Amino acid sequence: MTTTKKRPSSFYKMVFSGPHDLVHGFLSGIMLGSGNHGILWYCLEEEITGPSTARKLLDKVRVHGDDCHLIVDGSTRTLLKRNAKKMFAETGLQIEADNKISSARFSYTFHAFAKQYGDEILSTLKTMPRGVKKINTVTEENIHPEAKGVEAYAPAHHYEISGCGDLTGRIDLIIDARNELDQYPLVKTTWIELELA
């Protein structure tokens, strides 16, 4: 998810019922046809919780379910709500849920064995955009000068840094923050959780 234009301030989670391909096709069509350039993100693609674990796993092997979880902005929501009746009549697709998102959050952990990587990760965490709040942050750095060098039977790292924490804030900023952290192979992130209004 990358966009340079001004971001909306309100986001909604909508759940559509209907065959996966039909939902995707219909939503792409309606967005294009209406000239709406608003936001439409699929929860499974952005790794946002909502679908069950079983659904996530099935989706990985392209077995799609009959419900589709979306994140939309206000303009897209209005467009979809306005066309809900017509959409149901013509395609059978239905809006099952529609909630305002008050905040989003995810957890991260990292473990690095070289100062360079630790510094890069910490620097990225420090420069998170305004609106992304760090909570429960724990960082532990250990240096063992005696363990410097290559070992075979007694492997120990001379430098070790690990940390964990949660990032919380507006959903679009949180998606960006998570994508940025995911650039580092040594950082593990959880799926994004939503707090609904």
Partner 1 sequence: MKLSIKHSKLLFFLLFVATISLLSISALAHDHAPQEQHHEEIHASNHTELGQRLPLWSAIPFAGILLSIAIFPLVAPHFWHKQFPKISAFWAIAFAVPFLFAFKFEAIQSIVHIYLIDYIPFIILLWSLYTVSGGIFIGGSLRGSPKVNFILLLIGTLLASWIGTTGAAMVMIRPLLRANSWRRNKVHIIIFFIFLVANVGGSLTPLGDPPLFLGFLHGVPFFWVTKALLPHMILVVVLLLGIFVAVDNYWFKKEENVPVDNTGSSIKIEGLHNLLMLLGVMAGVLFSGSVKLPEFHVIGHVTMAWQNIARDLFLILMGLLSLKFTTKAIREKNEFSWFPIQEVAYLFAGIFMTIIPALAILQVGSDGALAGLIEFVSTPLRYFWVTGGLSSFLDNAPTYLVFFNTALGSINESEVPGMLAGGNIDFIIKLTAISAGAVFMGAMTYIGNAPNFMVKSIAEEAGIPMPSFFGYMLKYSLPILVPVFVIVTLVFFL
Assess 185 for contact with partner 1 (CB under 8 A): yes
d(C-alpha 128, C-alpha 156), whole Å: 32
Please tell me whether residue 114 binds partner 1 under the rule CB under 8 A. yes
Q: Binding of partner 1 at residue 112 (CB under 8 A)?
A: yes
Site membership for partner 1, residue 141 (CB under 8 A): no
* 2 is a contact residue toward partner 1 (CB under 8 A): no
Under the binding rule (CB under 8 A), the answer on residue 119 touching partner 1 is no
Which residue among 2, 9, 116, 123 contacts partner 1 (CB under 8 A)? 116
Contact between 81 and partner 1 per CB under 8 A: no
Contact between 35 and partner 1 by CB under 8 A: the answer reads: no
**Rounded-to-integer distance, Cα 128 and Cα 166, Å:** 12
Residue ranges binding partner 1 (CB under 8 A): 111-114, 116-117, 144, 146-147, 149-157, 159, 183, 185-186
